[in-house]
Amino acid sequence: MAMAFNLKDAIVEAVTGLGGSGTALEVREYLRSKYGKEWKNIETIMDDLSVESKSSFFPPEDRVLRQAGSGRYSLKETAASELPEPEILAHEAHPTTSEITNNTLERTNSVYLAKLKQIIDQPALEFAEANSEQVPDTPGIYIIHDKSLKRIIYAEKSGNLRIALLQHKRGNNKGGKFREKLGQELGSKSELEISDYIMSNCSFQFLAVESFEERVRFEHFIAAVLAPVFNIEFQE
C-alpha cells in the first residue's frame, strides 16, 4: 500500500484504521508500525486539524477531526472522502455500514473470540511468582484477574508485555492506570500496600500480538465482552 502523501493524510488514514478515533500516541504508534516512520509534531497537527482549534493554520474545509475528549480525536463525516485515492480504493473493498452482513459479523467475532480463547485457556501466572523469563518482551494483550473478587478486573495492550506486567508488580501507581485505579479502590496511596495486594490477589494471562492495529481492536473487543471493571470505569 502506498504511503499517505503528507502528515494530514497519514493522520486521517491512522484514525480511520483505529476505528474512527484515537489519541496522538495511538496515531503515532500506528504510523510507526505501518510505515516505520517517525513523524514529528503529531499532537500539534492533530489539534490544528480539529474543528475546535482556535489557532489552526488549516482552513476550515481542511479540518477533518473533532475533539472527542480525554485527548482523543474522531473523524468528521467528510474525512473519509479526503483520503488519497489509493486509500479510498482500499477502503471501498470493505463493506460499508449498510452492507455489513451477518456473515461478516460472525466471521469477525469468531476471529477475536478465538484469540480470547487463546488467552483464557493459558494457565494464569501469579504476580507473586512470575519472573521475567515467563513473560516475553514482545507486544501483546494481557488480562488481570483478582481472586478476591473472582473476576477479571483489567485488560490492556502493551508494546512490551514484560515491562508492562513487571511494572504492575512493583511500579509506581502514577506510572500505570491499573495501579492508579487499584490504589483508588483500596483507598490507599501507599505503593507498598498496592504491591502487597497485587502480589496476594492478582494473576495475569497474555497473548503476543505484533500488529498495533490488531492490539487496539482486540483490547476494545475484550473490554466489550469481558467488561473488566477498571476498563469500564476509565471510560466514564
- Contact of 200 with 178, CB cutoff 8 Å: no
- Look at residue 175 and tell me whether its pLDDT is greater than 80: no
pTM above 0.75, yes or no: no
Residue range 94-127, pLDDT digits in tens: 555 555 556 667 777 888 888 899 999 989 999 9
Instruction: Specify whether 113 is located in the same domain as 175.
Output: yes
Does one domain contain both 111 and 215? yes
Check whether residue 230 and residue 153 sit in a common domain: yes
pLDDT at 101: 59
Is 178 within a domain?
Answer: yes
Tell me, yes or no, whether 74 and 112 share the same domain. no
- Same-domain pairing of 218 and 108: yes
Q: Tell me: pLDDT of 184 over 70.
A: yes
Distance CA 54, CA 62 (A): 14
Residue 1 has pLDDT above 50, yes or no: no
Domain boundary among 94, 127, 162: 94
- Tell me which residue has cell 507486544: 139
Based on the domain organization, do 20 and 121 belong to the same domain? no
Q: Which residues span the domain enclosing 21?
A: 7-94
Do 11 and 77 share a domain, yes or no? yes
When mean pLDDT is compared across 3-12, 44-53, 74-83, 123-132, the lowest value belongs to: 74-83
Residue 189 has pLDDT above 70, yes or no: no
Do 131 and 181 fall within a single domain?
Answer: yes
Same-domain pairing of 140 and 228: yes
Top-confidence residue, 169 or 11: 11
The CATH number that applies at residue 75 is 1.10.10.10
Q: Is residue 201 part of a domain?
A: yes
If phi > 0 it is left, if psi is from -120 to 50 it is alpha, else beta; for residue 227 that is left
Residue 2 inside a domain? The answer is no
Last residue of a domain, one of 94, 117, 143: 94
User: Is the per-residue pLDDT at 162 higher than 60?
Assistant: yes
Number of domains in the chain: 2
Q: Are residues 195 and 116 in the same domain?
A: yes
Question: What pLDDT is attached to residue 233?
Answer: 59
Q: What percent of the chain has pLDDT over 70?
A: 82
Say if residue 135 is in the same domain as residue 168: yes
Q: Does residue 1 belong to any structural domain of this protein?
A: no
Residue 117 lies in a domain: yes
* Whole-number pLDDT of residue 109: 82
Say whether both 144 and 223 belong to one domain: yes
Q: Is 33 part of any domain?
A: yes
